[in-house]
Amino acid sequence: MFLSIINGPNLNLLGKRCPEIYGSATFEDTLAEIRKDFNDYRIEYFQSNCEGELIDAIQRDGFNPDCLGIVINPGAYAHYSIAIADAIEAAPAPVIEVHISNIHAREEFRHKSVTARAARGVVAGCGRDGYALALLHLIRTANSNQNA
């Protein structure tokens, strides 16, 4: 069993791009912490700046019966990618959308996420802790479903 983290465009620039918003650590730093904190689980990670590659990753992991769930930060695609929303909606694995910043406190175009309608939940504005919160929710949901 594994959990998947999928990051969209420009998230490869964490630590370099807008550190006043996103912090100065790289996502690799964050991923190392996550893997340490969730060491009982295999955490798969994928990042792409290309919409089609993100859809392929959602389909690959979302239809894999060994995937407990997906945490996705679609980046700017959250605001206009119906294709990513459709991929999330089609996947049997639960998906939690994460945004490092509070998208509702930023520019107006960021206030609406078209991909969020397909996700089971959304975590925004909790910084990089949002990834761990989303993973924790997926694990607890999977465990409660197994015990039901």
Residue reference for tokens 């175009």? 109
Order of strands across the sheet that contains 67-73:
42-47, 2-7, 67-73, 95-99, 121-124
CB-CB contact of 89 with 81 (8 Å): no
Which residue of the set 22, 104, 111, 137 is catalytic? 22
Is 77 among the residues known to form the active site? no
Measure CA of the first residue to CA of the last residue in the chain; give whole Å: 19
Catalytic residue among 99, 104, 111, 131: 99
* Alpha-carbon distance values, 92 to 3, 53, 78, 79, 102 (Å): 14, 19, 20, 23, 28
User: Is 79 in the active site?
Assistant: no
Strand runs labelled E in 1-136: 2-7, 42-47, 67-73, 95-99, 121-124
CA dist 71 and 74 (Å) reads 10
Catalytic site positions: 22, 99
